[in-house]
């Protein structure tokens, strides 16, 4: 087990009606002036915004609002929010929504205490030193942003989507009310489930040897979410299934799922698939992050698994109950070809990757990049951004070059 530092300062308020307690929770923490940040109207239509505002009114917390943050949030909204936060003298930023509202809010929180242009942080031209606190009301379990150290922001003018990881990004409060997720469209539910599984897998496949405690937490969470996802597809108001998905979404990305698996001196996972997906949603901002991951992750797995087959065997065993065929134990009388040990491993790994991909597809996720309308020429347009964000070589499970990334994208067309 590798050494680690783990900082997860977020206070969680979880359960039915939790969003009605937002005001009292903020007041108890001493906040008096909240900048509410939300997306393109779902929280207005569902009544969630009104409920949050009513709770702020009841607790004597004043508020100002920034609306219209789009999925794959853009720096223009962030700059607008920085100005609002300053003009209003906000002492807390309160996103009500998903990863997009939360990431925009985190960016606003950093920008409000910085004299330069907030985009500097995402282009690594400056390092943040301070922030306003962020408190999240989560309406879609997916990004895990409500407890993560990350914020991902797009800049359309520069054709970039960049992440920024810093403990300053960790929210002080996350209000997880599973009932708020009853209204999610199936596609967003599925993309969220895919994203949280991807957050666990980025860490599981870090390239470092397994850690029993972390592997069991991580793969147990994947089993729980794979059990719950079909249930919410069948019945969107299945509270227990929604609640399990929501809590996995948070724990998948607060750091817990990678403890001891981190790369010494580096990141707590491989993160190549996230890097490759971010280029997709930078290229076409209508691509949903989780849907992009549903295509990229299996393609990456097929390309790299031979580097550490033992991790894929462990994953297949714990998640899908897949074991390599063993001629000493299994009855192979109906099979003509010789099953070598290498062949048995390859078959088990391929079956594992196929099962994972079929699970994503069964939820309504795409299988190929062509389903986003992408072509081989488009693949070339993804590589310059990848180079800016990841450099010429990246990845820890297997070190890849930009040419490897090209091959993986092409294999997913």
Residues found near Zn ion in the complex (CB under 5 A): 195
Q: 């299994």: which residue's tokens?
A: 330
Can residue 396 be called a binding residue for ligand NZQ (CB under 6 A)? Answer: no
207 binds, among ligand NZQ, Zn ion, none (CB under 5 to 8 A by kind): none
Residues in 233-262 that interact with ligand NZQ by CB under 6 A:
253
**How far is the C-alpha of 285 from the C-alpha of 74, rounded, in Å?**
10
Closer to ligand NZQ by Cβ: residue 292 or 298: 292
Q: How many residues of this chain bind ligand NZQ (CB under 6 A)?
A: 35
Phi-psi region of 263 (alpha: psi -120 to 50; beta: other; left: phi over 0): beta
User: Least distance from C-beta 285 to ligand NZQ, angstroms?
Assistant: 9
407 binds, among Zn ion, ligand NZQ, none (CB under 5 to 8 A by kind): none
188 binds, among ligand NZQ, Zn ion, none (CB under 5 to 8 A by kind): ligand NZQ
User: Least distance from C-beta 277 to ligand NZQ, angstroms?
Assistant: 8
Among 2, 183, 263, 285, binds ligand NZQ (CB under 6 A): 183
**How far is the C-alpha of 144 from the C-alpha of 154, rounded, in Å?**
18
Q: 């990863």: which residue's tokens?
A: 99
Kind plus residue range of the DSSP H or E element containing 251: helix 239-251
Residues in 189-208 that interact with ligand NZQ by CB under 6 A:
192, 195
Q: What single string gives the DSSP state of each residue in 145-206? A: TTT-SEEEEEETTTTEEEEEE-GGGS-SEEEE-GGGGGG--HHHHHHHHHHHHHHHHHHHTS
148 binds, among Zn ion, ligand NZQ, none (CB under 5 to 8 A by kind): ligand NZQ
**How far is the C-alpha of 180 from the C-alpha of 60, rounded, in Å?**
24
User: Least distance from C-beta 137 to ligand NZQ, angstroms?
Assistant: 10
Can residue 97 be called a binding residue for ligand NZQ (CB under 6 A)? Answer: yes
Please check whether residue 178 is in contact with residue 15, taking contact to mean a CB–CB distance below 8 angstroms: yes
Closer to ligand NZQ by Cβ: residue 43 or 168: 43
Distance of CA 258 to the CA centre of its chain: 14
**How far is the C-alpha of 390 from the C-alpha of 402, rounded, in Å?**
9
**How far is the C-alpha of 28 from the C-alpha of 30, rounded, in Å?**
5
With CB atoms as reference, the residue minimizing the distance to Zn ion is 195
Among 10, 21, 36, 42, binds ligand NZQ (CB under 6 A): 42
Please check whether residue 34 is in contact with residue 90, taking contact to mean a CB–CB distance below 8 angstroms: yes
**How far is the C-alpha of 189 from the C-alpha of 241, rounded, in Å?**
12
**How far is the C-alpha of 120 from the C-alpha of 127, rounded, in Å?**
8
User: Least distance from C-beta 12 to ligand NZQ, angstroms?
Assistant: 16
**How far is the C-alpha of 142 from the C-alpha of 277, rounded, in Å?**
15
Can residue 39 be called a binding residue for ligand NZQ (CB under 6 A)? Answer: yes
**How far is the C-alpha of 246 from the C-alpha of 229, rounded, in Å?**
11
Closer to Zn ion by Cβ: residue 112 or 273: 273
Closer to ligand NZQ by Cβ: residue 107 or 345: 107
Among 10, 22, 55, 143, binds ligand NZQ (CB under 6 A): 143
**How far is the C-alpha of 243 from the C-alpha of 174, rounded, in Å?**
14
Residue (of 183, 191, 111, 113) closest to 151 by Cα position: 111
Closer to ligand NZQ by Cβ: residue 183 or 263: 183
Please check whether residue 186 is in contact with residue 364, taking contact to mean a CB–CB distance below 8 angstroms: yes
Can residue 188 be called a binding residue for ligand NZQ (CB under 6 A)? Answer: yes
Among 2, 8, 12, 40, binds ligand NZQ (CB under 6 A): 40
142 binds, among Zn ion, ligand NZQ, none (CB under 5 to 8 A by kind): ligand NZQ
Among 100, 176, 194, 357, binds ligand NZQ (CB under 6 A): 100
Among 21, 51, 170, 274, binds ligand NZQ (CB under 6 A): 274
* Interaction site with ligand NZQ (CB under 6 A): 39-43, 46, 71-72, 97-101, 103, 139-140, 142-145, 148, 150-152, 180-181, 183-184, 188, 192, 195, 253, 274, 289-290
């Amino acid at each position: 087990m590798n050494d680690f530092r783990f900082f997860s300062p977020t206070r969680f308020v979880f359960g039915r009606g939790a969003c009605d307690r937002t005001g009292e929770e903020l007041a108890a923490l001493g906040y008096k002036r909240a900048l509410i940040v939300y997306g393109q109207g779902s929280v207005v239509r569902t009544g969630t915004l009104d409920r949050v505002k009513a709770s702020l009114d009841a607790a004597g917390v004043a508020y100002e609002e920034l609306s219209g943050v789009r999925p794959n949030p853009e720096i223009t909204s962030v700059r607008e929010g920085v100005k609002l936060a300053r003009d209003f003298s906000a002492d807390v930023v309160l996103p009500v929504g998903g990863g997009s509202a939360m990431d925009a809010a985190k960016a606003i929180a950093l920008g409000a205490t910085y004299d330069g242009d907030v985009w500097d942080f995402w282009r690594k031209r400056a390092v943040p030193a301070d922030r306003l606190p962020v408190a999240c009301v989560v309406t879609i379990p997916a990004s895990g942003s409500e407890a993560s150290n990350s914020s991902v922001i797009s800049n359309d003018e520069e054709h970039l989507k960049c992440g920024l990881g810093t403990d300053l990004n960790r929210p002080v409060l996350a209000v997880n009310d599973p009932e708020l997720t009853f209204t999610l469209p199936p596609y967003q539910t599925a993309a969220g489930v895919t994203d949280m599984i991807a957050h666990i897998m980025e860490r599981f496949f870090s390239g470092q040897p397994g850690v029993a405690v972390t592997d069991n937490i991580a793969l147990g969470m994947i089993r729980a979410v794979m059990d719950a996802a079909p249930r919410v597809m069948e019945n969107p108001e299945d509270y227990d299934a929604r609640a399990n998905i929501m809590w996995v979404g948070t724990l998948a990305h607060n750091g817990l799922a990678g403890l001891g698996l981190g790369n010494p001196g580096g990141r707590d996972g491989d993160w190549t698939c996230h890097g490759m997906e971010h280029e997709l949603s930078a290229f076409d901002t209508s691509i949903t992050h989780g849907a992009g991951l549903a295509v990229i992750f299996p393609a990456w797995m097929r390309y790299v698994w031979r580097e550490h087959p033992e991790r894929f065997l462990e994953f297949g065993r714990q998640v899908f109950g897949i074991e390599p065929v063993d001629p000493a134990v299994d009855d192979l009388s109906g099979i003509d070809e010789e099953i070598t040990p290498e062949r048995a491993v390859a078959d088990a790994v391929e079956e594992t990757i196929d099962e994972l991909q079929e699970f994503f597809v069964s939820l309504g996720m795409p299988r190929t990049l062509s389903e986003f309308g992408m072509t081989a020429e488009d693949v070339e347009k993804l590589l310059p951004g990848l180079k800016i964000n990841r450099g010429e070589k990246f990845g820890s499970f297997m070190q890849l070059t930009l040419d490897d990334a090209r091959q993986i994208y092409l294999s997913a067309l």
